[in-house]
Amino acid sequence: MDFSERQKREKEYYKEYSKRIRSSLEVTFDPVLGDERRPWNPSWYVQELAINHFRRGRGCSRVLDFGCGVGIVTIRLAKIGYDVYGFDISEENIILAKSLAEKYDFKKKISFSVQAAENLNYPDEFFDIIIGIDILHHVEIKSAIPECYRILKKNGIAIFKEWIKVPVLDRIRNWSLIKRMYSNEMSFEKHITHDEKKLVESDISFIKSYFSSCEMTRFGILAKLDKIIRNSRVKTPSLLEKVDYYMIRGFPKVARLGGTIVLKLTK
């Protein structure tokens, strides 16, 4: 398989990143088990949509974890009951994902492979549902989205959680003083790769052009501050995410300031 220079940099980044996180890897099933709901958290919201889709009488639908990384969400999807496939561009990520699947006894339920999002080897109309968390800002949208559309069944859905540019806030974020205090350059500690870039409106327009319908839900206005004031190891619900959730519901016009989106796309 031939890789672009960007893809090669991604592969090299994750070769090192996977070494750093290997010893701390574990899967918590709270987002897909129990009575707790966190509709204000975009990742939990995506997984709730996956649960609802599965429960609507579709049985063991075939799902793709689009850019699965080390497989944490992949394993949760298997826990829901899906027949799961996951791919990633990094061989090291897939090795860790396979070891996690074996650890949690889902080895026979999940099929992992090393692939690039822009050139997938799955058959046409193969998946009932596609889930992608924080992946589209790592790939070439104009190649990856047609592939996503191709492998999705008619009337199937694709759900992506992504970062999107908010012009007024991102201009502030890129002030030299702010960047010196809170760098957004490549980092293993902050899990920032060389080439990742937030989605812009033209990306959203391109994505919408491929699908019959698109529902977009916004998150992350005040919750942006969690990166500064909140310990990333704390697993309790974020107060600022809750504030954003109710603020957006009460004053829908402020939603455009949200820097995180969930796209629910129907073919």
For 19-43, give one letter per residue: b (16+ CB within 10 A) or e: eeeeeeeebeeebbeeeeebebbbb
- At residue 229, the pLDDT reads 78
- CATH code of the domain in which 13 resides: 3.40.50.150
Containing H/E element for 123?
none
Joined together, the tokens standing for residue 121 give: 């080897």
For 187-192, what is the mean pLDDT?
82
Helices (H), 81-175: 91-103, 141-151, 167-173
Closest among 198, 250, 221, 252 to 42, alpha carbons compared: 221
- At residue 60, the pLDDT reads 62
**Which structural domain, as residue segments, surrounds residue 138?**
5-165+194-221+255-266
Whole-prediction pTM: 0.93
pLDDT (tens digit, 9 = 90+) per residue, 120-157?
999 999 999 999 999 999 999 999 999 999 999 999 99
Is residue 235 situated within a structural domain?
no
What is the widest separation between alpha-carbon atoms in the chain?
A: 53
- At residue 234, the pLDDT reads 74
pLDDT band at 191 (very low <50, low <70, confident <90, very high): confident
Q: Residue 177: pLDDT above 60?
A: no
- At residue 179, the pLDDT reads 61
Is residue 204 situated within a structural domain?
yes
Is residue 249 situated within a structural domain?
no
- At residue 178, the pLDDT reads 58
Is residue 120 situated within a structural domain?
yes
Joined together, the tokens standing for residue 213 give: 């319908």
- At residue 236, the pLDDT reads 83
Q: Based on the structure, what is the number of domains in the chain?
A: 1
Distance CA(201)–CA(181), nearest Å, equals: 28
Mean pLDDT, rounded, of the chain: 91
Distance CA(90)–CA(15), nearest Å, equals: 7
Is residue 107 situated within a structural domain?
yes
Is residue 242 situated within a structural domain?
no
